Every structure is written in C-alpha cells, then in structure tokens.
Amino acid sequence: MADPSETRTVARFPFDGTMPNWGKRADRHPLLAFVDSCLRGIGQILFADNPVSGLLILLGLFVTSPWLGVATLLGLVSATASALLLRLDRSRLRAGLYGYNGALVGGALATFLVPEWSPGIILYIIGAAAVSTLLMLAVSLVLVDHLHLPPLTLPFNLVTIPCLLATFATSHIQHGPLLARHMAEPINPALRESANAGTVSLASALVEALFRGIGQIVFADHVLSGVLILLGVLVWSRIAGLFALLGSMLGLLVGLTLGGDGFSEYHGLWGYNAMVSAEALAGVFIVYTWRTALYGLVCAAATTVLYAGLAVWSGAYGIPALTLPFCLSTLVFLVGAHATNLFRPVPLSHVTSPEEHLRLPQ
C-alpha cells in the first residue's frame, strides 16, 4: 500500500495512473467529486480513469468545435447525473464508468444532427445520454455479470444507432449531410487527392490521417485534437499511449492495403476503432507482455476489416459504424485471451492502467 518504491514509480510521471490520492481529496466535496467523476468519464472513452486525461481530451474537443465540446459535456453530465439519481454503485460512478457512454452520445448527436446549438437537439442529447446509463446497466448485466467481459462502448452504440435512425422519420429533429444512405458506390482509394487542399504531400496526408484517426474516437476530425487526446492517454499510461498510436497507424495501413476509400482514410475513419482495440488488449484488459502486444495488433487489424464490413452495413441505412467494430472485435479477442493460458487477463474490478497491471500479483 504505502510501499515507497511504488510511490517513486508513480512519481516519475505527473498525473500518472488513476491518481487515487487526488481522487480521495476530491471525494470530500460533493461538487468536486462530481466534476472529477465527469472528467474521468471523458478519459474512460480511451480507458483513462484519470481527470487530467479527461481535461486534455475535452480541450481536444473544443479545438475541433465548441459545439462538439459542449454537446459532449451535456451528454457526460446527463449520464453521470442519471447514475447519481438512480443511486448506482458509487465506486463505478467515481471512476467515470457512468459517464463515457453519455459523453460519446453527445458528441455523436452533435456531429450528425443539425443545426448546431438547437434546443431540440440539446434536449435530445440530454435524454439519450440519460438512457445510455440504463444501457450501461443492461449491457453490464450480460457482459460483466455473466461473461466477465467489459461493456466497452456498446451502450453508446445501442443508444446512438436508433437516435440517428429516428431522424429519418422526424421533421423536427434533423440530420446533416454526414448521414446519407450509401448503396454500392465506386471507391476511390487515392488518399492524397482526398486531402483537404489536394496539394498536401502524401507523407503529411498520412500523418494527418494518423492523428485524425485518434481524434475521431470522440468525433474530433482535427490533427491538433488527435495530438491532445494522445497526450491525455500518455499522462495516464505510456503503454496505452503507444498502442493508441500504433493502433491508429495499423488501422490506416490495413485500410490502404485493402484499398479503402481515400477520403474516409484521410479523415481518420479507418483508425479510431483499431486504436482503442489495440489499447484495450495490449495492457488494459490483459497484463502487458510482448505476446499481448502482438495479440493487440492482430486484433486492431481484425477490427479494421470489421470496420469496413460494418460501415457497409450501417451505410445502407445512412448511419456510421460508430465504435461497434471496436466493441465486437475486442470482446471476441478478450474471450480468446480468457480461453488460452498464453495471457493473463486483468479481473474487471482491478482494471486501472497498463503500468499498474504489471505490478499485479500473479
């Protein structure tokens, strides 16, 4: 507990791991505890149970667009407040586990519905995010309680998909041009031509795609957002940060190899699912080893193929694949990790950060 060597390790990076000391301090003031829970909720989108990670990711959202930032906050606060109202498990609430799905609901609805700042959409976000807390309970009942698997961002997907679909049947809540039904269009795999100006070099297009891929996990289609989000992951865990980067890179690489659409590759759509898959397996839900690293990267590649498949499926309805590819692929690879003795899965109640998992007793 108070092992000085451990304290020293933690001290090497400021704001490292889950910041338990700060968490205990915040607990003393209800409002501060709520704010801390919310910030951890934003961090949890990338598994970072850390308020500073949350702050950096939030900054990344506002860099892309203030409306995206505010909408994400609205969803986050609605989902967390709903958990408070329903008197749900306090330690899970404090870890941000009742916030991250709501935050993503807010970001998704802000991205795909129009117009920005509309009171109708604000209410829609608040309601949908509140329901995301119920879906967190429902998904956890099946996955956590019966199968010992994490709920990931499945609740977000299960709430957002019908909310987006509904806009095709409502005239007062409307979707923007990003939602449109795709039926077997020809594919243009040229990445560079798809870049904004068309004059940017291939190398810089690839770097942009890489960081946009990180940003897209929270709908932030902006290089600087990607950088800030990566920083947010890094303050919590260096291993996770590295695999976030490698995951986004691998997703892009698989997309280019398969000959995916250059426009969507440039905007990071082939990267964000692979990124969180790599992170999840290489350290977050399995204790990190070189084997875990390899397994995580294989999962990231599989996630990217699944992304292509699910994007075709959801595109036929006019909606995006969201993070369903990540959820489904990661769950399957986690079941595999539980079934073999090659890996050491982290019990769900012990998940903190990849570095701390290395210190878990065998």
Least distance between its own copies and beta carbon 109 (Å): 12
Residues 191/207, Cβ–Cβ less than 8 Å: no
Residue 313 in contact with its own copies, rule: CB under 8 A: yes
Nearer to its own copies, 127 or 345 (CB): 127
Q: Which residues contact 351 (CB under 8 A, 6 or more apart)?
A: 47, 49, 150, 284, 285, 357
What is the x/- site pattern for its own copies, positions 126-155, by CB under 8 A? -xx--x-xxx-xx--xx---xx--------
Residues 257/230, Cβ–Cβ less than 8 Å: no
Among 333, 346, 355, 356, binds its own copies (CB under 8 A): 333
CB-neighbour burial class of residue 1 (10 A; exposed 0-12, middle 13-18, buried 19+): exposed
Nearer to its own copies, 117 or 313 (CB): 313
Residue 32 in contact with its own copies, rule: CB under 8 A: no
Largest Cα–Cα distance in the chain?
62
Q: Which of 174, 168, 69, 176 is nearest to 124 (CA)?
A: 174
Of 3-11, 61-69, 220-228, 335-343, the window that binds its own copies (rule: CB under 8 A) is 335-343
Nearer to its own copies, 77 or 234 (CB): 77
Among 312, 350, 358, 360, binds its own copies (CB under 8 A): 312
Least distance between its own copies and beta carbon 349 (Å): 17
In degrees rounded to 5, what are phi and psi of residue 114?
-135, 160
What is the x/- site pattern for its own copies, positions 83-102, by CB under 8 A? ---xxx--------------
Residues 129/164, Cβ–Cβ less than 8 Å: no
Among 21, 32, 115, 168, binds its own copies (CB under 8 A): 168
Q: How many residues are recorded in the chain? A: 362
Residue 178 in contact with its own copies, rule: CB under 8 A: no
Residues 196/204, Cβ–Cβ less than 8 Å: no
Torsion of CA 133, 122, 320, 196, to 10 degrees: -130
Query: Among all chains, which residue has been given the structure tokens 């994490």?
Result: 150
CA distance 235 to 18: 10
Least distance between its own copies and beta carbon 147 (Å): 6
Residue 341 in contact with its own copies, rule: CB under 8 A: yes
Q: Which amino acid makes up residue 334?
A: L
Residue 181 in contact with its own copies, rule: CB under 8 A: yes
Least distance between its own copies and beta carbon 142 (Å): 7
What is the x/- site pattern for its own copies, positions 210-249, by CB under 8 A? ----------------------------------------
User: Three-class SS of residue 200?
Assistant: coil
Q: Which residues contact 3 (CB under 8 A, 6 or more apart)?
A: none
Which residues form the interface with its own copies (CB under 8 A)? 86-88, 127-128, 131, 133-135, 137-138, 141-142, 146-147, 161-166, 168-173, 181, 183-184, 187, 189, 257-261, 301-302, 305-306, 308-313, 316-318, 331-333, 335-336, 339-342
